[in-house]
């Protein structure tokens, strides 16, 4: 167990896990479309600082060569106006924005070759004008044809240009539009949904509300922002890909003389075609004003004029923008700047709609609740006014704990001005998140010595007064709870234990309304001295915070780490580890669900007296120099300073295997700290142990400004939030009932001869929502065959026991072969026969469903055939019942080799299937690493491909993660693996072999006969279930029950992996 030196290029301090991080800040599209012969002001949007994308014009590209048809004022001409050049000069005012050329095509493409030619011509011009990208609108029936996809695909190949596709609400519901959008989705940065035109606008004289948010009696659901985005989301276009476009101004109609303007509603016909009106003109209109609370629009009627206006106020357009941002769409757009009162004619500041969007984007943090208990600690004395709290994602913390109350010998309790200011800052941040904001916890006494605690708590009157004052202050604040933190120094005796218990009782008694959450912080020394009333804390405290980040101190004359996971051989006190401290508390019968383990973002600097080069194998427990006079100014204190030291090559970082922590060696200094890898390991370990939560202290030291990689603020919190799971006990389904299962447990059974014999009557169907039988094959003529007669005999045995399985599903896994050509013959000529044969096989062998395993045969040349086959088969299955009386099911199975699912499959169609099983195994049927491999961040992982499928629009509840019971033994050659089942493993290494955990790959490993044996452990499977539950996925698939220990030879009974899904002492 040595020390591994980490190369600077892959420093985990910088965060190897940041590959999955994205910037979720909302985007703001701003449009500039100057009329012909109008000179564009170079300072037009100077004060609108939120624009992330600026789009110039709506330039026609109807020529066959794709060259834009510029107006005389777009480029330099006889009018001495070059608006494009002026527009691009705005980059100095918006240095971080992307400048796009806005183009529009109305003429359909002749074919895909023509589409490619137009795209190449357009790319050439966009690059020559030095645009950052292109904003494309196809105004016509283009989406009915695949040539539109070819057009955008050709542009997307130019990596120096970003691409946004604009579509109006009017076109979303057109023929084939959604299918094209599914194909386009992966080619563009965003899909811009312009709600300025709706299906009603097909009839120019039909009266239409402008950008209606919700439906009412006259506005159909599909003509609202809500209805249109729901249609896209249902078809697999995720909200995170959609920018919702709003309109500055509105629609104006002249109505018939026979019509009463006060009774006009959306969908009626006017006397003539409607006209788009700019806000600077709309605000001056006379007449009666009506506010529509459903569409969020202002209606102005005057004589026979009727006008619907997007009023740029918080209660009108502001409600639309807040709804859009609250639904976690990619962002919002306003079109366009020149119709948004650019001169301030309406009596307010210019660009009121843009300013409103800017203010709301600035004051909005994407609202995602923390999925597990995670406490984030801030110290007011160390947090200055520049602390970028807006960089803190809403799901990083479930609670924010602030040191607030100080014990005072004279006044009992006081709080500082800095603490008040910090709480105010946190409240402002929480207001931007609203419903899912973390709870605020105010901490008491973390900076008071034991003597002060003893003096106040020993006096019954002062203690009760303290409790009442605390509860009174909490009830008049925004805080949800109180932390009692007697932690600066350990408690000294049994009287301290008694007085702490009395304070807790006094607080509980004073909290008459039971509104205060009570947290109690504990120190390691007081814990090991048993100065806590464990049973009392079990009954009264909501959470017990173990200070497992203070297991070593700079005052000790030896080197160490503040939070080692386990003890190394050289450590002087083996109790000062996470593992030992947790075991101590659980041995005292304290509920795991109440315990919170701590780590810190700050560092611990020590001056080693030993030669650090000679102590690499045993860095802890070495002599260290201790002096109260030593200056700490030159010490490293934070994550960002660690990064700066490594980049400047003044320090070298090392990894300690057993303790699972890093340290930095700089001159004669040893700096102990946490990095993203150690935080990840602790989060996985704590999750496996079933603790109630985690706490990160001093988050102000967790690189809040993303200095380390210019990308991820709070990298330790990010690592914790990704790796921590909170397992909920999984209730076993009732296999005696037909029901929709909240959590799918799919068990794959291989039709093959096993040694020792796997009798079909021991298939553990009662533990499975479905048994997937592998595998039949679709062959020429649409026929279905099995590999040999032996497989058919096994299947017949299964069929004979079908009545015993009751309502448990029995599903046929159906392969389409390995050849694209092979599948083309089948689906091109025999699709109907193939569907009929599938139904016949289901009837013959009493299958309740089919799982299509056709990925290897799907290519660009036949994916349309396949999608049609799935659609027709789904319709046939939908109307049939299985032999057990339950509904039949159709699912599909894919692997990590599918890197662009939306290119080959209809995501909306997949979302209508029973579920989609994602196989996460390599060629040896062994699971991929679950998380990123620290030494090879590009290596495929389960986490990466789950996110990939979710990002293309597959609904989370449809996604089933397939896991393998197989492990492997390293072969003689590098990279060679010998696959091993759970049974093989026990026969090879024995039942008593001790396995170490790899918390990144989620496997165990042990040495055997000069090689290493790797096996997934029961704890790994339970953790994966917790991850699946946290991400609200559809369930889990065991890719081979044959690979589990079906004989019970390992000493844990038969099928221990499968049975562990429902049995865990650490779930809650």
Give 272's contacts (C-beta < 8 A, 6+ positions apart): 205, 253, 254
* DSSP structure string for 82-96: -HHHHHHHGGGT-TT
Q: Helix %, strand %, coil % for the chain, to 5?
A: 35, 20, 45
Say if residues 524 and 547 touch (Cβ distance below 8 Å).
Answer: yes
* Distance separating alpha carbons of residues 1009 and 1011, to the nearest angstrom: 6
Whether residue 245 contacts residue 29, with contact meaning beta carbons closer than 8 Å, is answered with yes
Q: How far apart are CA 579 and CA 564, in angstroms?
A: 9
Cα gap 541→871, rounded to integer Å: 55
**C-alpha–C-alpha distance, residues 494 and 319, integer Å:** 59
Apex 987 CA angle, 986 and 988, nearest 5 = 90
How far apart, in whole angstroms, are the C-alpha atoms of residue 745 and residue 722? 24
The residues, ordered by sequence, that sit 6+ positions from 14 with a Cβ below 8 Å of its Cβ are 643, 708, 709, 715
Cα–chain center distance at 650: 36
Residue 774 annotated among the catalytic residues of the structure: no
What is d(CA 214, CA 226) in angstroms, rounded to the nearest whole number? Answer: 6
Alpha-carbon gap, residue 561 to 549, rounded angstroms: 9
Which single residue is written with the structure tokens 């955008």?
A: 152
| CA 917 – CA 960 distance, rounded (Å) | 5
User: d(Cα 759, Cα 186) in Å, to the nearest integer?
Assistant: 47
Measured on CA atoms in the order 717, 718, 719, 725, is the torsion positive or negative? Answer: positive
How many angstroms separate the CA atoms of 148 and 157, rounded? 15
Given 231, 483, 770, 855, the catalytic residue? 855
For residue 976, give every residue at least 6 positions away whose Cβ sits within 8 Å of its Cβ, in sequence order, or none.
Answer: 970
Burial code (b: 16+ CB inside 10 Å, e: under 16) for 274-287 equals beebbbbbbbebee
What phi-psi label fits residue 1009: left (phi over 0), alpha (psi between -120 and 50 degrees) or beta?
left
Report the alpha-carbon distance of residue 722 to residue 700 in Å, rounded. Answer: 20
- What's the DSSP call for residue 614? G
Contact at 8 Å (CB) between 157 and 133? no
The CA distances from residue 1059 to 182, 533, 921, 963, in Å, are 40, 37, 21, 14
Residues 790, 754 contacting (CB under 8 angstroms): no
Pairing mode, if any, of strands 693-697 and 27-32? unpaired
Residue in the block written with tokens 């506005």: 219
Convert 837-874 to b/e letters by CB count within 10 Å (16 or more is b): bbbebbeebbbbbbbbbbbebbeeebeebbbebbeebb
Rounded-to-integer distance, Cα 529 and Cα 490, Å: 9
Q: Which residues contact 710 (CB under 8 A, 6 or more apart)?
A: none
Radius of gyration for the chain, computed over Cα atoms and rounded to the nearest angstrom: 33
Rounded Cα distance between 864 and 855, Å, is 13
Question: Which position has the token pair 């190394």?
Answer: 568
CA 211 to chain centre: 30
Asked if 920 and 896 touch (Cβ cutoff 8 Å), the reply is yes
Q: At 803, list the tokens.
A: 């009545």
Question: Catalytic residue positions?
Answer: 855
């Amino acid at each position: 167990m040595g020390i591994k030196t980490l190369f600077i290029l892959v420093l985990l301090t910088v965060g190897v896990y940041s590959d999955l991080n994205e910037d979720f800040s909302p985007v703001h599209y701003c449009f500039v479309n100057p009329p012909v012969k109008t000179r564009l002001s170079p300072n037009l949007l100077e004060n609108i600082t939120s624009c992330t994308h600026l789009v110039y014009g709506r330039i026609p590209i109807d020529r066959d060569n794709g060259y834009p048809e510029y107006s005389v004022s777009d480029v330099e001409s006889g009018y001495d106006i070059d608006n494009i050049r002026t527009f691009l000069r705005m980059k100095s005012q918006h240095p971080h924005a992307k400048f796009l050329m806005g183009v529009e095509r109305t003429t359909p493409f002749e074919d895909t070759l023509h589409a490619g030619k137009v795209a190449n011509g357009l790319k050439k011009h966009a690059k020559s004008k030095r645009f950052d990208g292109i904003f494309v609108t196809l105004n016509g029936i283009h989406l009915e044809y695949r040539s539109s996809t070819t057009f955008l695909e050709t542009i997307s190949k130019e990596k120096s240009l970003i691409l946004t596709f604009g579509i109006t609400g009017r076109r979303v519901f057109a023929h084939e539009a959604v299918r094209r959008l599914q194909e386009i989705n992966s080619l563009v940065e965003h899909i811009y949904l312009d709600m300025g035109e709706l299906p009603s606008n097909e009839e120019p004289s039909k009266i239409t509300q402008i950008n209606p948010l919700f439906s009412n009696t006259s506005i159909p659901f599909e003509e609202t922002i809500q209805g249109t985005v729901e249609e896209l989301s249902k078809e697999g276009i995720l909200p995170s890909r959609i920018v919702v476009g709003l309109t500055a101004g509105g629609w104006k109609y002249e109505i018939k003389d026979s019509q009463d303007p006060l009774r006009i509603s959306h969908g009626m016909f006017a006397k003539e075609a409607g006209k788009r009106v700019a806000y600077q003109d709309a605000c001056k209109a006379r007449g009666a004003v009506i506010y529509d609370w459903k569409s969020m629009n202002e209606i102005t009627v005057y004589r026979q004029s009727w006008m619907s206006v997007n009023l740029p106020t918080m209660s009108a357009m502001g409600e639309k923008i807040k709804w859009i941002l609250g639904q976690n769409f990619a962002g919002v757009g306003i079109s366009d700047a020149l119709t948004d009162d650019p001169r301030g004619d309406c009596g307010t500041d210019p660009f009121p709609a843009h300013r409103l969007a800017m203010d709301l984007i600035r004051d909005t943090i994407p609202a995602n609740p923390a999925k597990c208990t995670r406490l984030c600690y801030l110290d007011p004395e160390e947090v200055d006014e520049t602390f970028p709290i807006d960089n803190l994602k809403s799901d990083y913390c479930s609670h924010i704990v602030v040191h607030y109350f100080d014990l005072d010998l004279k006044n009992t309790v006081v709080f500082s001005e800095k603490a008040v200011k910090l709480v105010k800052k946190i409240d402002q941040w929480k207001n931007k998140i609203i419903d899912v904001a973390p709870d605020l916890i105010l901490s008491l006494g973390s900076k008071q010595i034991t003597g002060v605690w003893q003096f106040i708590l020993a006096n019954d009157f002062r203690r009760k007064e303290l409790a009442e004052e605390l509860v009174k202050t909490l009830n008049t604040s925004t805080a949800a709870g109180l932390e009692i933190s007697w932690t600066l120094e350990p408690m000294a005796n049994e009287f301290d234990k008694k007085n702490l218990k009395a304070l807790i009782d006094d607080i509980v008694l004073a909290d008459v309304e039971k509104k205060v959450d009570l947290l109690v912080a504990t120190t390691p020394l007081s814990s090991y001295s048993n100065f806590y009333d464990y049973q009392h804390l079990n009954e009264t405290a909501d959470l017990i915070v173990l200070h497992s980040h203070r297991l070593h101190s700079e005052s000790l004359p030896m080197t160490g780490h503040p939070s080692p996971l386990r003890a190394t051989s050289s450590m002087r006190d083996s109790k000062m580890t996470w593992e030992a401290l947790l075991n101590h508390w659980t041995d005292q019968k304290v509920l795991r669900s109440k315990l919170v383990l701590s780590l810190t973002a700050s560092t611990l600097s020590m001056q080693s007296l030993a030669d650090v080069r000679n102590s690499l194998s045993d860095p802890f427990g070495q002599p260290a120099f201790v002096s109260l006079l030593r200056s700490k100014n030159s010490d490293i204190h934070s994550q960002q300073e660690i990064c700066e030291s490594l980049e400047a090559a003044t320090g070298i970082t090392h990894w300690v295997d057993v303790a699972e922590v890093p340290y930095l060696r700089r001159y004669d200094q040893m700096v102990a700290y946490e990095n993203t890898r150690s935080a990840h390991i602790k989060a996985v370990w704590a999750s496996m142990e079933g603790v109630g939560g985690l706490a990160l202290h001093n988050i102000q030291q967790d690189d809040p400004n993303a200095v380390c990689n210019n990308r991820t603020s709070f990298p330790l919190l990010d690592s914790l939030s990704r790796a921590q799971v909170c397992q909920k006990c999984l209730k076993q389904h009732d296999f005696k009932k037909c029901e929709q299962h909240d959590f799918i447990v799919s068990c794959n059974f291989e039709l093959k001869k096993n040694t020792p014999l796997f009798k079909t009557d021991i298939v553990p169907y009662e533990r499975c929502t479905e048994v997937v039988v592998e595998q039949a094959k679709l062959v020429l003529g649409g026929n279905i065959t099995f590999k040999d007669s032996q497989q058919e005999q096994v299947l017949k045995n299964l069929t004979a026991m079908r009545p015993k399985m009751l309502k448990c599903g029995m599903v046929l896994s159906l392969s389409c072969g390995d050849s694209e050509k092979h599948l083309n013959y089948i689906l091109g000529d025999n699709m109907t026969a193939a569907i009929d044969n599938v139904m016949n096989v289901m009837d013959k062998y009493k299958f309740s469903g089919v799982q299509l395993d056709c990925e290897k045969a799907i290519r660009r040349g036949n994916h349309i055939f396949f999608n049609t086959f799935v659609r027709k088969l789904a319709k046939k299955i939908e109307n049939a019942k299985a032999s057990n009386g339950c509904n039949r099911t159709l699912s599909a199975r894919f692997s990590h080799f599918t890197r662009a699912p939306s290119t080959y499959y209809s995501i909306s169609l997949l979302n209508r299937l029973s579920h989609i099983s994602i196989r996460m195994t390599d060629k040896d049927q062994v699971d991929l690493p679950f998380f990123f491999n620290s030494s090879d961040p590009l290596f495929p992982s389960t986490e990466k491909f789950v996110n990939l499928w979710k990002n293309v629009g597959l609904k989370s509840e449809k996604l089933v993660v397939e896991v393998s019971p197989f492990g492997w033994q390293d072969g003689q050659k590098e990279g060679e693996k010998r696959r091993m089942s759970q049974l093989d493993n026990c026969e090879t290494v024995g039942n008593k072999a001790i396995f170490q955990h790899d918390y990144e790959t989620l496997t165990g490993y042990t040495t055997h006969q000069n090689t290493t044996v790797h096996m997934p452990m029961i704890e790994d499977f339970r953790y994966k279930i917790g991850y699946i539950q946290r991400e609200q996925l559809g369930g889990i698939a065991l890719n081979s029950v044959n690979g589990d220990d079906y004989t019970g030879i390992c000493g844990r009974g038969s099928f221990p992996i499968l049975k562990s899904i429902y049995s865990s002492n650490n779930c809650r």
